[in-house]
Chain A
Amino acid sequence: MVRSITPRGVGRPDNEREVHRVSLQSFQAQQELWSYSNTYNVPAFSYRAIILTGFDLPSEDWKFYLTDVLVTVNKNLRFLVDIAQNDMYIGSKWGTQKVHIKFPTGFPFLTTDELKIFIVNYDTSVDMDASLYVGGFRELTGE
């Protein structure tokens, strides 16, 4: 049974939805890597919701996988990163200055899916700048 729960951040939402297309950056034979990176300001006691969608070259012959979400911030703060596939959480982690969520073997998803990364700043007075890296691979399923 799969239960679907709409992700919600904690703290004061800033109502900001950012949608980014993702392009493939490097490849090997039979396996291509994809990645996305950007930087964001996360004001005190708020979160940024970054939506990755529009993965290139949708084809039934390819399967896409998510392997890494890495967020580093410029302040010595504990902060939270949540990850959702469409409207369902698939991971959550707290850390200080750096949060690295590694999906063993790669989390499978479709090119039509949305990957959402929530960067949550619980501190009530300190803004932070966050650097986001998201990466994975795609794999040819057959000849």
Chain B
Amino acid sequence: MVKVVTSRGVGFPDYTDIIHRVAISAYGKNQGYFWAMYKFSNIYGQVQYYVDIPLPEGKKIYLHQVEVSTSLGYLVDLVVRIIGDVTEEHIVSDYGGATFRPRVPIYLTSDDTLRVFFAHYGPITTTAYVSLSLWGVQE
């Protein structure tokens, strides 16, 4: 079951250890398409991380889908936070991974910050790998 919560109130701590966990990343734009992909390693215990997604300069961006998944089947929270004139946050939780697909693509500009968090509720004894991908359209 996928539980969708529009606002959690407190939000996530802006934990900054993420840079040490990124094993591979790629992002770019292609004929009007925009995407980003990250692979994280050495994730264990109950942890929360975030990454700020680089957005193409001077473009209108429509965010269509954000997806996080893990090598283990434990609960994952996916939080998509857009920080701009108004900050909005979307949270999806599910076991083994979660997908955020807005009913209407979310409009962004390069002045906004697109911050994607994930929380992994795994055991302290087992290391997980986590993949994070997002896709959108730029004009």
Contacts and interface: CB of A to CB of B under 8 A. Distances in A.
B113 interface: no
A108 B32 contact: yes
Interface in B82-139: 96-97, 101, 105, 129-133, 135-137
B39 A102 contact: no
Sort chain A's interface into a size bin.
20 to 34
Contacts of B29: 2
A78 B130 CA distance: 12
Nearest to B70: A94
Interface of A: 1-5, 8, 10, 63, 78, 80, 82, 85, 88-96, 101-105, 107-109, 122
22 contacts: A1-B28, A2-B29, A80-B129, A80-B131, A85-B30, A91-B35, A91-B37, A91-B133, A92-B37, A92-B132, A92-B133, A93-B67, A94-B69, A94-B96, A94-B129, A94-B130, A96-B73, A104-B64, A105-B33, A107-B30, A108-B31, A108-B32
